[in-house]
Structure 1
Amino acid sequence: MLEQRFVEIVKKYPQKTAIVYDQIRISYQELYARVKHLSNRLRTIGIGQGDCIALILPNCPEFAIAFYAAAKLNAIVLPLNPLFKEDELSYYINDTNASIIITDSNRADISRNIISKLEKQIELIVLDDTCLLTGEVDKLIITESTSPFKGDVLYQYSSGSTGKPKRVCRTQNNLDREVINFTETTNISPADNILCIVPLYHAHGLGNCLLAATCNGATLAILEQVSHQKTTIEVPFVFRRSRVLELIEKEKITILPAVPYIFNTLAETPADAQIDVSTLKLCFSAGNSLSKDIFDKFLQRFGISVRQLYGCTEAGSIAINLDENSKNIYDSVGFPLRNVEIKITNEQGKELPAGVIGEVIVNSQALTNGYCNRPELNQQVFKNGSFLTGDLGKKDEVGRVYITGRKKIFIDTGGHKVDPLEIEDILITHTQVKEAVVVGIKGLYAGEIIKAVIVPQNLEICDEKDILFYCKDKLADFKIPKIIEFRKEIPKSPLGKVLRKNLIDTFSERINS
């Protein structure tokens, strides 16, 4: 299915540029050669159908190569956030029973530490530019499976109200259908150049950047990593803004998938900066709701409307706003993609009329069959081939969809979507923490700041530095709270429900006030 689609693109456009990364330009023929080289390497160490391959890689050509190499073997890819700490990575690798880790030299040591502590044999492949981006491709012979493989190809994790990440398994057929749905809706073609500045390990980056490009013969330009003394480092996006704008102009980018935080930062480009963005035909935002302020700022600065896309890990892209009159309906996620159905229902499952808010229900062939090893939860949220998203929304009189809220709780910080319950689970393991609640408070610009409200066992022993140091080894840096507040008690309703809203706006009940 998916692998066959990629092979057909290679046959049609062998000399066309598939990936641009810094000074590197890789044609589709060259990309396939690297895919074949790595798949053969994996096969020689016993990796085959159904084996899980963990990818701990930043956005880079090697990610694309490893993904398609796994698909060629009918193996399962587990793309992980390269910013995760050892404990976080270990959880996912152990939970999926991964057979091998593919990473780069910057993350080789942490991968070795993980392997040494797990009670099973896990292979390790450390990729770098020299092992995959050199070699002869002139006599390339394209091989493909004799029959399309419709089985599992991807593991990703979806956080929710349970506090524990849920493993989502999607098949080659699921991803192939997502490509079809997205392509037919947005009319992506080989003439397009897509700029990837969102994480490839995430459903947004994987589906709307990597697959959207390579399954349609388009060119994928990947924002390169920042290096310091031969080590890649993370820097705030504002320091990459000029490079992103340079890439848009130089590579004649036509499609820009991003998140509200990125669009806000781009919109704040100084007025005297001369930037040619005339090639851009589609800018769309996902991951969180797009505020009117960001929409207006981007439109005013560049004369381009940012469109909202709605999607989820379980189904990939679901809906997108492509309406010509986007200025008046900027807050809509538009109509469902081709071949996707969205209903708005009440608690009894009855479809609601236009204008009435209810739960968003999705039906699509791109949808997973359910969460791995979670039969009870699957019975609750996957019914009759549909997915109960937990999101709240409504439709207008012509069928446009609006997302109005969530049953689930997430914090959008710096472009990352964070489950506060995951952080709370870490905090309460600290010996001096009696209770902990994590909330997001509005930042000065876009997105939210993570705040932890803690009831300590003993305030004299437990302090802010101690809490932050404890989190540092257990959570990715973007998940670590920026504000720590100590209280005598957590505000709760008469039924014992935590009143999270009361923790967002006021500091009046601090112990040290």
Structure 2
Amino acid sequence: MTMNQPWLAEYPAEIPKELNLVEKPLQSYLTEAASLYGDKAAIHFMGKEIGYKELYESALKFAGYLKTLGIKKGDRVAIMLPNTPQSVIAYYGILYAGGVVVQTNPLYMEREIEYQMKDSGAKVILTLDILYPRVSKVMKNTDLEHIIVTAIKDYLPFPKNLIYPFIQKKQYGIVVKVDHRGQNHLFTEIMKTAVAEAVSQEEFDFENDLALLQYTGGTTGFPKGVMLTHKNLVANASMCDAWLYKCTKGEERMLGILPFFHVYGMTAVLILSVMQGYKMILLPKFDAETTLKTIQKLKPTLFPGAPTIYIGLLNHPDLKKYDLSSIDSCLSGSAPLPVEVQQQFEEVTGGKLVEGYGLTESSPVTHSNFLWDKARIKGSIGVPWPGTDSAVFSMETGEPLPPNEMGEIVVKGPQVMKGYWNRPEETEQTLKDGWLLTGDIGYMDEKGYFYVVDRKKDMIIAGGFNIYPREIEEVLYEHPAIQEVVAAGVPDPYRGETVKAYVVLKEGESLTEEELNEYSRKYLAAYKVPRIYEFRKELPKTAVGKILRRALVDEERQKIEDEQKTS
């Protein structure tokens, strides 16, 4: 720990300055919840409720079935699902089987799925019926041996389960039928035939055993698997619980819109809810009207989200028709939270909304503003969480800086990753003497509140998603008409940033924005596809020919500032 931790003086008496972590596996919290809250609802999903006892038994069934497929301690098993009961069952089932969860974005296209499966070495993947064609196409190029298939309808109440396949056919234009044999397995058949028996635990190492590979781009290049241990995830969820000190164990209702394949949704919704016996109200995707109706009907008390979600609700034309007064506490993550959004949302709900900060590499939360008893500090990401140390290091010397001096924000704590999967060199560059170098530039004030000013990373954060320019550029460079391309994040009032591609065509070639957009959508998940294309004769470069991405971003910001001055 650093000598000077002024933020501890800011802590309300209810928040502990340190955590006493019990060294037990993450899945043991589900075992306890089943014992304490067996008949209470663990999950509400589109009208259907699942109790903690049923969730626990289903997870054991899934674990047992994975064992029959040959899954051993340390083997990777991928989950490629939206927020559904199956995603929760599988998450804990994999852990009960001794496996390591690999969260995979269901928006991924074949190219992205293949990369992640090859890199992680996952042996089994659980996915939706409509995504099965994508996964099966890349299977032969990966270590995947089995595909487990489920459908949204599998956990819908009657008559929604009968109606949904027709809606799905109309929406996606496909009906996928998979038989329960060979390398293909049906989730419904597993739940019918498997037995809920406790899986014998092999030797357990709280500090070092991996629970999760969570993919992130870090500072450069292709996504890397962040190795998060049982300790990392238990610690961060415990910190979150300590921060929410006014919440009641076994009583709160958690709105689960943040996707579980995003580390924030996984920790703040999935893990915390099970750890505290809360009811998870799951929505498979964000739709403003559906969310408003859900809040009014089911009255969630906790609502972790991202700025784009809160903005989407506030801008809904019928917002005033809905009663959102059940919402007590909201922690916003994934992107900077505009002050006006915070104020407006608090007025509408009567609850508290504050900004937090973190990285995939820290499970993810490291800092937050206080929810109660303290005013939010405008522009600040807040103070470090219990048991977390933070400082600002000089980018020249690497030494800690005094308050109000600008440098790189660094963090240390039990939630900081073990390292990057199979990337020791990149791990060494990011972890220095136990400190996680965030790549974000900022400062700390005298009271210990931190402020992010800019980031070294070229990573784009659009709508809470991390997007890596190189991935987009690699795809666009494969187009035969393109000579040069650079992708950058440009300011966007709704998404925070949006992806813009600057394109130079080969001599004699022609290409329209529509053609390029159609091409991009074949190879990139929808949220990575550039929203804006600009065709140029040349791109700004250094003397050695390196394209100046930052110059393009600065140019875009200047353009916006000039427009605001004249409007």
TM-score by length of 1: 0.89
1:201 paired with 2:261, answer yes
Partner residue, 1:247 = 294
Is the CA contact (8 Å cut-off) linking 2:60 and 2:197 kept in structure 1?
no
1:442 to 477, 491, 513: 491
1:306 paired with 2:353, answer yes
1:491 paired with 2:540, answer yes
Structure 1 Cα separation of the partners of residues 539 and 387 of structure 2: 46
1:397 paired with 2:446, answer yes
Closer, same or farther: CA 103–135 of 1 in aligned 2, 3 Å: closer
Partner residue, 1:154 = 212
**Matched pairs, number:** 494
**Pairwise CA RMSD:** 2.7
Structure 2 Cα separation of the partners of residues 471 and 152 of structure 1: 35
Give the secondary-structure state (helix, strand or coil) at the position aligned to 2:498.
strand
1:285 paired with 2:332, answer yes
Give the secondary-structure state (helix, strand or coil) at the position aligned to 1:471.
helix
Aligned amino acid, residue 448 of structure 2: G
Is the CA contact (8 Å cut-off) linking 1:4 and 1:148 kept in structure 2?
no
Partner residue, 1:168 = 226
1:125 to 113, 123, 148: 148
1:342 paired with 2:366, answer no
Q: Deviations over 1:414-456 (max 9, x none)?
A: 4423122221122122232221111223335443332110112
Is the CA contact (8 Å cut-off) linking 1:320 and 1:337 kept in structure 2?
yes
Is the CA contact (8 Å cut-off) linking 1:99 and 1:123 kept in structure 2?
yes
Closer, same or farther: CA 69–433 of 1 in aligned 2, 3 Å: same
Q: CA deviation at 1:120?
A: 4.6
Structure 2 Cα separation of the partners of residues 464 and 243 of structure 1: 33
Aligned amino acid, residue 55 of structure 1: I
Q: CA deviation at 1:332?
A: 1.8
Partner residue, 2:12 = none
Closer, same or farther: CA 346–193 of 1 in aligned 2, 3 Å: same
Partner residue, 2:280 = 220
Q: CA deviation at 1:365?
A: 1.1
Structure 2 Cα separation of the partners of residues 307 and 119 of structure 1: 42
Q: Deviations over 1:381-411 (max 9, x none)?
A: 2111221111122222111222222111232
Q: Deviations over 1:305-336 (max 9, x none)?
A: 42011111111211111154766514222221
Give the secondary-structure state (helix, strand or coil) at the position aligned to 1:498.
coil
Structure 1 Cα separation of the partners of residues 96 and 518 of structure 2: 43
Query: Percent of aligned positions with the same letter in both sequences?
Result: 31
Q: Deviations over 1:51-74 (max 9, x none)?
A: 111111111110011110100011
Q: CA deviation at 1:493?
A: 4.1
Partner residue, 1:27 = 51
Structure 2 Cα separation of the partners of residues 421 and 326 of structure 1: 41
Aligned amino acid, residue 124 of structure 1: I
Closer, same or farther: CA 356–124 of 1 in aligned 2, 3 Å: same
For structure 1, the 5+ residue unaligned runs are 226-236, 509-513
Structure with the higher helix share, 1 or 2: 2
Structure 1 Cα separation of the partners of residues 518 and 319 of structure 2: 42
1:374 paired with 2:398, answer no
Aligned amino acid, residue 210 of structure 1: L
Partner residue, 1:481 = 530
Structure 2 Cα separation of the partners of residues 133 and 265 of structure 1: 39
Is the CA contact (8 Å cut-off) linking 2:45 and 2:84 kept in structure 1?
yes
Q: Deviations over 1:159-207 (max 9, x none)?
A: 1332221211111222112222221222352221110111110111100
1:256 paired with 2:303, answer yes
Structure 1 Cα separation of the partners of residues 203 and 68 of structure 2: 22
Closer, same or farther: CA 296–410 of 1 in aligned 2, 3 Å: farther
Closer, same or farther: CA 259–133 of 1 in aligned 2, 3 Å: farther
Closer, same or farther: CA 134–165 of 1 in aligned 2, 3 Å: closer
1:60 paired with 2:60, answer no
Q: Which residues in structure 2 correspond to 1:49-198 (within 5 Å)?
A: 49-115=73-139, 117-118=140-141, 120=143, 122-128=145-151, 129=154, 131-132=187-188, 145=201, 148-150=204-206, 151-187=209-245, 188=247, 189-198=249-258
Closer, same or farther: CA 498–330 of 1 in aligned 2, 3 Å: same
Structure 2 Cα separation of the partners of residues 158 and 34 of structure 1: 30
Q: Deviations over 1:45-92 (max 9, x none)?
A: 111211111111111110011110100011011111100101110100
Structure 2 Cα separation of the partners of residues 314 and 289 of structure 1: 18
2:68 to 44, 47, 51: 44
Structure 2 Cα separation of the partners of residues 175 and 506 of structure 1: 39
Closer, same or farther: CA 121–168 of 1 in aligned 2, 3 Å: closer
Q: Deviations over 1:9-46 (max 9, x none)?
A: 22111111111110110100000111011111111111
Structure 1 Cα separation of the partners of residues 442 and 297 of structure 2: 39
Give the secondary-structure state (helix, strand or coil) at the position aligned to 1:473.
helix
For structure 2, the 5+ residue unaligned runs are 1-24, 156-186, 559-567
2:456 to 380, 400, 407: 407
Is the CA contact (8 Å cut-off) linking 2:356 and 2:367 kept in structure 1?
yes
Closer, same or farther: CA 176–285 of 1 in aligned 2, 3 Å: same
1:427 paired with 2:476, answer yes
Between 1:399-408 and 1:86-95, the stretch displaced more is 399-408
Structure 1 Cα separation of the partners of residues 55 and 527 of structure 2: 32
TM-score by length of 2: 0.81
Is the CA contact (8 Å cut-off) linking 2:252 and 2:278 kept in structure 1?
yes
Structure 2 Cα separation of the partners of residues 218 and 251 of structure 1: 13
> Which stretches of structure 1, 4 residues or more, deviate above 6 A after TM superposition?
133-137
Q: CA deviation at 1:273?
A: 2.3
Is the CA contact (8 Å cut-off) linking 2:329 and 2:371 kept in structure 1?
no
Between 1:147-156 and 1:361-370, the stretch displaced more is 147-156
Q: Deviations over 1:433-483 (max 9, x none)?
A: 221111223335443332110112135344434432332221111111122
Partner residue, 1:210 = 270
Structure 2 Cα separation of the partners of residues 295 and 107 of structure 1: 36
Partner residue, 1:229 = none
Structure 2 Cα separation of the partners of residues 399 and 323 of structure 1: 16
Is the CA contact (8 Å cut-off) linking 2:221 and 2:468 kept in structure 1?
yes
Closer, same or farther: CA 345–325 of 1 in aligned 2, 3 Å: farther
Is the CA contact (8 Å cut-off) linking 1:18 and 1:217 kept in structure 2?
yes
Is the CA contact (8 Å cut-off) linking 2:124 and 2:146 kept in structure 1?
yes
Q: CA deviation at 1:375?
A: 2.0
Partner residue, 2:320 = 273
